[in-house]
């Protein structure tokens, strides 16, 4: 198995790992229903209907 000719420096090693950190997901509050939501995604409200940008896009099934 091939081995590296030079030692990888701490700086180069850490730059390679710079994308490994975890980030908190973006969360916002819907103005109409005051519920937490992910931006640019439809979400299910407490009434069972789906909402997008504060507008109801489907009826509750059931």
Q: Measuring CA to CA, which residue among 46, 49, 44, 51 is closest to residue 59?
A: 49
Q: Is residue 46 part of a domain?
A: yes
Q: Is residue 44 part of a domain?
A: yes
Count of domains for the chain: 1
Where in the sequence is the domain holding 49, given as residue range(s)?
27-62
Q: Give the model confidence (pLDDT) of 3-60 as tens digits.
A: 999 999 999 999 998 888 888 889 988 777 788 888 888 888 778 888 888 788 887 6
Q: Is residue 45 part of a domain?
A: yes
Residues 54 and 33: beta-carbon distance below 8 Å: yes
Residue 60: the pLDDT is: 66
Contacts of 43 by beta carbon, 8 Å cutoff, 6+ apart: 30, 35, 37, 50, 51, 52
């Amino acid at each position: 198995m091939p081995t590296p000719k030079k030692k990888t420096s701490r700086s180069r090693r850490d730059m390679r790992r710079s994308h490994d950190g975890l980030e908190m997901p973006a969360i916002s509050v819907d103005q109409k229903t005051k519920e937490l939501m992910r931006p640019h995604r439809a979400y299910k409200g407490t009434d069972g209907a789906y909402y997008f940008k504060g507008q109801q896009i489907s009826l509750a099934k059931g």
